[in-house]
A and B are shown apart, each in its own frame.
Chain A
Amino acid sequence: NAGVMQNPRHLVRRRGQEARLRCSPMKGHSHVYWYRQLPEEGLKFMVYLQKENIIDESGMPKERFSAEFPKEGPSILRIQQVVRGDSAAYFCASSADGTTNEKLFFGSGTQLSVL
């Protein structure tokens, strides 16, 4: 049973370009969370999605960032017109249900570097 798969592992973009980060949850998991880790900081919650629904996007920047989790295929975190401050590690996690006592499984992350 493969774990949470994120790709790419490393993504380099120039300022103004778009970044697309993909996350395939564990098999059987329909709840996906995205977190961002800035250098020397802990992870910060960005968004929580279930299939085809955004449940909580309170941690998403108001502009340029969007997320989706379609009925088929991986969850996508999209960053438009990237800036240097977007450089960070982006982690996806999944769980079988959304409750706190359900174990959260993390992917290995995508390291985004903006030149």
Chain B
Amino acid sequence: AQSVTQPDIHITVSEGASLELRCNYSYGATPYLFWYVQSPGQGLQLLLKYFSGDTLVQGIKGFEAEFKRSQSSFNLRKPSVHWSDAAEYFCAVPSSGGYNKLIFGAGTRLAVHP
């Protein structure tokens, strides 16, 4: 069965520092992979997605993620974090069925120190 693991529950970084949020997945075939961000009191916003092709995916707000099949990972990165990036980040894969029934990881809460 498909599953997603986000090993880090909380991460704190200083503004301007680089960021990497980890995501490991279990999926039967070539996966579709998503990263969403949830700001306080808000719904989820899609940051980026991987379907096929180039394993380095560019997203909004300066984020990128790299699909590594050998490691079953899809880690999210940003070279320089801004205070406004403080939020909760969710990695997701689709469940079986071929439609938008997503399985989310438990999330990583990012705090940014000035």
Contacts and interface: CB of A to CB of B under 8 A. Distances in A.
B99 A99 contact: yes
B104 A100 contact: no
Contact of B46 (A4, A42, A103): A103
- Kindly name the residue among B6, B99, B105 whose own CB sees the greatest number of chain A CB atoms within 10 A: B99
Interface of B: 4, 6, 32, 36, 41-46, 51, 90, 94-95, 97-107
A44 interface: yes
Interface in A22-51: 31, 33, 35, 40-45, 48
B43 A108 contact: yes
A58 to B, nearest CB: 8
Interface stretch (A12-20, A63-71, A73-81, A90-98): A90-98
B101 A99 contact: no
Interface in A83-115: 91, 93, 95, 98-104, 106-109
A42 B89 CA distance: 10
Interface of A: 4, 6, 31, 33, 35, 40-45, 48, 55-56, 91, 93, 95, 98-104, 106-109
Nearest to A95: B100
A93 B100 CA distance: 9
28 contacts: A4-B43, A31-B100, A33-B100, A33-B101, A35-B104, A40-B106, A41-B106, A41-B107, A42-B105, A42-B106, A43-B90, A43-B102, A44-B104, A45-B102, A48-B100, A56-B97, A56-B101, A91-B44, A93-B43, A93-B100, A98-B99, A99-B98, A100-B98, A100-B100, A102-B100, A103-B46, A107-B43, A109-B42
Given A43-B102, A56-B99, A100-B94, 4 more contacts: A42-B90, A42-B104, A45-B102, A98-B99
A9 B96 CA distance: 31
Contacts of B45: 106
Contacts of B107: 41-42
A25 to B, nearest CB: 12
A101 B104 contact: no
